[in-house]
Structure 1
Amino acid sequence: MWKIRESEHYIFNYHENSYAEQDIAKIIEIQENCYEYICEVLNVKLNKKLNYFLCNSPVEVGELYGDNEPCNGFTRMPNKIYAVYNEDIKCIGYHEDAHMISYNTLSRPPQNFIREGLAMFFDKSWWGISNFAWIAYFLKKNKLPRLYDLIESSDFYKHSYIITYPLSGVFTDYIISIFGIETYKEFYKNLNEDFNYCFKKSFGMSLNQVELNFIKYLNNINISNDILKIIDIKLEREDFK
C-alpha cells in the first residue's frame, strides 16, 4: 500500500515508515527545484503532474519494471517515475525528471545516447564526480569510444555505462554551448533513425567534424590529480577494466 503526498508538480508515492516518508519534505523541495530548472532551461511547460514512486530497493524497482532485474530508477510514459530511496541509495534529482519532462514536451528520440545525454547534461555528475572529470580521465587513459560507435542503441550498451553516461552528458553540454539550446531542442524534437542526416541538418556539420572539435575542447580541460586518484579508487571498487 502506497502513501501519497502531492506538491505543485508531483504526486509522490511512498511506503509507510520508509526513508522516503521520513524525508518527504526534503524530497519535495529537491524535486520541485529540479523541475523548475529543467523547464526553465528547456523553456517548456508540462500539462500534467509527475507521478513519482519512491521504492525501498532496486529489487522492488525491477519488479515494478517487469523484468525483475534490480535497478535504481526508470520512467514509464506518460508521467510515471520509479526510483529507489533508502539509507544508501537516493535516486532523486534531475535525471529521471529530465527524461520525463523532455519526452512529454519535446520528443523521445530513438537513440539512447541522445536521451541519456540530455538527462546527464542536467545531472552534471556521476557518483558525485563531475562528468567532465570522468571524461578527462578516460581520454587520458585512451578509453573513450568514438561517438559514432555509441549512436546505435544496441552499441551504446556494449560499452560500460561508467563511460557512456558521463560522455553523453559532456557531449550534450558541448553541443548546447556551441549551437545554443533552441537549435539543440529542434534537433532533439526532429531526430529519427537517420542520425547522421538529422545531425548535419540541425548543426551544419557532420558528427565526425564536431567530434574532432569536441576532443580538442576536452584536451584543454585540466582536472586535479587528486580527483583523478579518486576516480581510480572508485573504478577499482567496481572492478572496472
Structure 2
Amino acid sequence: MRSKYLLIAVVLILQACSLIPDTGEMESHGTWLQAKSEHYVYYYRPNSAAATDIDKIEAEQERVFIQLNKLLGTNYNQKIHAYIFNDLADAGFTDKTGQAFPILNTIEVIYGLDGYTIGKRGISAHEVAHIITFNGWGPTDLRILSEGIAVYMEHATYDSEADYGSSQMIVAALSAHGNLPDIESLASDFEKFDTNISYPVSGSFAGYIIRRFGMEKFRKLFTEGRSDHFAEDFQSVYDVSLADVENTWSHQSDKSLAQ
C-alpha cells in the first residue's frame, strides 16, 4: 500500500515540475504584483481586473479556505500560491481555465474577460479543493474522485447548495438522451470524455455518495481506490455494489429534469 502511494506521488511530482512555470518563465510572461493574506500569496498583473478586485478576491478565498477545511475534515494550513492571469491567452490555456499543482501548493487561475476561476462564489473552491484534498487526504489516481470532489465543493461552499442542481440537470439530460457515461468507465479512462460531460457527472456522483454515505467513506475511497478495479474497491468501502448505487443516483437525477 505504501509503495502505491509513493508511485502516485512520484508521478504527480514529475507532472507538476514539468508544467509549473519556473522563475524565468514567469518573468517572460510579464510583470507581477504580489499580495498576501493569511492563507495565500497572490501574483497578479498591474492594471488588471484582479488588481482592482484583489481585496474582494482575498476575502472570498479566505472564506472558502476555512469552509473547505471544515467540510473535508482537514486542518491544512500551508499558504497557497495563486497566479492570477488576465485571460486564457495570458495563461497559455487552450483546454482549461485553471489548474492546480498540489505538491507545490500552487494554483494558476484567470480573472477577467474570459471568466473567473478565483474570487467568485461558485468557482472559488475548485482549485483550492485539489490542493487541500491532496495534502490533507493523500494522492489518488482516480480523477473521477479528484475532479468530482472539486466540482461538488464549488456548490457546497456556495451560500447554499441550491446551485448543486446544475450538475444534476446535466446528468439528467445526458441520461434522457442515452449519453450518460457509466461510472466505471469514467473511473478507468476519465480523459477520453469531454470535460463538459466528465466534470459535472463526476461532481454529481461525488455529491450523491457524500450526501448518502458521508465524507469519511468518500475519503477512504479517494485514497485507497484504484482506477483499474474501481467497482471492487467501491464495494469494499461502501459494502454495496457500484451498480446499485449508480442506478439509484442516475434515477434521482432523472427527477430533477422533470421539475
TM-score bracket for the superposition, by shorter chain length: 0.7 to 0.9
What RMSD, in angstroms, separates the aligned Cα atoms of the two structures?
2.1
- The two structures have a TM-score, normalised by structure 2, of 0.77
Q: Does 1:202 align with 2:237?
A: yes
Give the secondary-structure state (helix, strand or coil) at the position aligned to 1:220.
helix
Query: 2: distance between equivalents of 1:119 and 1:16?
Result: 29
Q: Equivalents in 1 of 2:241, 2:223: separation in Å?
A: 18
Q: Relative to 1, partners in 2 of residues 1:128 and 1:82: Cα closer, same or farther, differing over 3 Å?
A: farther
- Tell me if 1:100 matches 2:135: no
Conserved? CA contact 1:55–1:83, under 8 Å: yes
Counterparts of 1:18 and 1:179 in 2: how far apart (Å)?
44
1:142, distance to aligned residue in structure 2 (A): 2.1
Q: Which residue of 1 aligns with 2:207?
A: 173
1:217 aligns to what SS in structure 2?
helix
Change in Cα spacing, 1:121 to 1:223, as seen in structure 2 (3 Å) is farther
| 1:146 has 2:182 as partner | yes
**Are residues 222 and 170 of structure 1, via their aligned partners in 2, closer, same or farther at CA, if it must alter by over 3 Å?**
same
SS in 2 for 1:200: helix
Give deviations 1:52-95, integer Å, cap 9, x for gaps.
00012223323xxxxx7463111112200000111341111111
Structure ranking higher in helix proportion:
2
The counterpart of 2:222, out of the listed 168, 173, 188, is 188
2-structure distance, mates of 1:189, 1:163: 24
Quick one: distance in 1 between partners of 2:224 and 2:130?
16
Does the CA-based 8 Å contact 1:120-1:169 persist in structure 2? yes
**Distance (whole Å) between structure 1 residues aligned to residue 66 and residue 151 of structure 2:** 17
Q: Which runs of 5+ in 1 are unaligned?
A: 63-67, 225-241
* Aligned twin of 2:59: 29
Unaligned runs of 5+ in 2: 1-30, 119-123, 156-160
Q: Is the 8 A contact 2:84 2:111 kept in 1?
A: yes
Contact persistence 2:221–2:233 (CA under 8 A): yes
What is the TM-score with the length of structure 1 in the denominator?
Answer: 0.82
- 1:39-78 aligned within 5 A: 39-62=69-92, 69=94, 71-76=96-101, 77-78=103-104
Q: Which amino acid aligns with 1:72?
A: T
Query: Do 1:34 and 1:94's aligned partners in 2 also have CA atoms closer than 8 Å?
Result: yes
Deviating beyond 4 angstroms after TM superposition, the runs of 4 or more aligned structure 1 residues are none
Provide the rounded CA distance (Å) in 2 between the counterparts of 1:216 and 1:12: 43
Q: Which of the residues 47, 52, 63 maps onto 1:17? A: 47
Identity of paired residues, percent?
28
Aligned with 1:159 (options 190, 193, 206): 193
